[in-house]
Amino acid sequence: MTERIKPGTILIKEGTPLPEWLQFESEHYSSGWRSVTNLDAHGLDRKIGEAGWTFFFMAGEVKATVIGSDSERTRLRAAKNLIVNLQADRSNQSNTFNCLEIAHVAVKRFLGTPYVTVSAHPRHIQESMFLFHSENHTEWDRAKLAAA
């Protein structure tokens, strides 16, 4: 069995707007999320850029740790906890992102108890080159220019 959760793995929120011609393989990961199976972060970034879209990278790293041996099941649990933690964090704009890039998977022991820590960076796919630039901002910008 291949590892689904490893550095470079991309998880995409279901329903994320994408360029029409962009094709990639994915599989259901957890409620509302899909795992890209045939591209890593670099490959997906390249394809999105070719379409004229932007794949934003946020430097802030998020982590989740679960107790258990180094198995795929433990890695999946840690990644699911990471998603839950991001969605629960309302003080951070991370919950508005539509992708996650797995950065590190660390397997360690504390007093003989194994645990796995998964680290990730929030990412965001959108057509505009301005992060979270929406139609409302565009209308506001036009009104501001007209008033000047």
Q: Within a domain: residue 5?
A: no
Q: What is the pLDDT of residues 67-121, one digit of tens each?
A: 988 788 888 888 888 888 777 764 555 457 888 999 999 989 999 999 999 999 9
Q: What is the pLDDT of residue 126?
A: 85
Q: Within a domain: residue 4?
A: no
Tally: H helices and E strands in the chain: 3, 7
Q: Within a domain: residue 91?
A: yes
Q: What is the pLDDT of residue 142?
A: 57
Q: Within a domain: residue 36?
A: yes
Show Cβ contacts of residue 46 under 8 Å, excluding neighbours closer than 6 positions: none
Task: Work out how many domains the chain is built from and give that number.
Answer: 1
Q: Within a domain: residue 47?
A: yes
Q: What is the mean pLDDT of residues 14-35?
A: 85
Q: Within a domain: residue 31?
A: yes
Helix extents (H) in 30-130: 41-50, 72-88
Q: What is the pLDDT of residue 40?
A: 86
Amino acid at 73: R
Q: What is the pLDDT of residues 43-57, one digit of tens each?
A: 889 999 888 898 888
Q: Could you tell me the residue range of the domain that residue 112 belongs to?
A: 10-147
In the chain, what percentage of residues exceed pLDDT 90?
15
Mean pLDDT (the chain) is 80
